[in-house]
Amino acid sequence: MIRPSIPKKKDVVGFSVRKSSLALSLLGVGLLLLGLMFIHATLQRQADGPLIDRMAGVVRNLDLTDLSLFTEARYTRHLSQTDLYSAFQDHPVALEHFPTGSIAGPPAGLRRFNGKLD
């Protein structure tokens, strides 16, 4: 039995659009926007360069500390000013109850490794 061919649905403009053509055009638009975002970021970095240098000079002159990344516990606010035992100030085997304690550990300069215990 021979089936009759079904005519394609016409778009409003009058031409048929395949799904793959639509997907490729959307992919192309997305890649174009991504490229434009990278170009904008590069241009914005060049434009903000003098402002960032001026801010760095202010930080250097005022002897400001490092950036406060987390606001929960005092030992996660300024990672360069923490010690190894402030997380366990309530009890030596107390569990960490702040989520940032598992994200950011102490700086490498504060970590001491003792000799072998056995």
Q: What is the DSSP code string of the chain?
A: -PPPPPPPPP-SSSS---HHHHHHHHHHHHHHHHHHHHHHHHHHHHHHHHHHHHHHHHHHHHT--------S-HHHHSGGG--TTGGGSS-TTPPP-STHHHHS---GGG--------
Structure-token match 């001026």, residue found = 54
Q: What are the tens digits of pLDDT across the range 101-118? A: 667 665 666 566 666 655
Residue 70 located in a structural domain: yes
Our count of domains for the chain comes to: 1
Q: What is the mean pLDDT of residues 27-50?
A: 96
Residue 69 located in a structural domain: yes
Per-residue confidence at 64, pLDDT binned at 50, 70, 90? confident
| Residues of the domain holding 86 | 59-112
Residue 27 located in a structural domain: no
- What pTM, to 2 d.p., does this model score? 0.42
Residue 101 located in a structural domain: yes
Structure-token match 């005092």, residue found = 74
Task: State the pLDDT at residue 17.
Answer: 82
Structure-token match 């056995």, residue found = 118
Per-residue confidence at 43, pLDDT binned at 50, 70, 90? very high
Per-residue confidence at 6, pLDDT binned at 50, 70, 90? low
Q: What is the mean pLDDT of residues 68-96?
A: 67
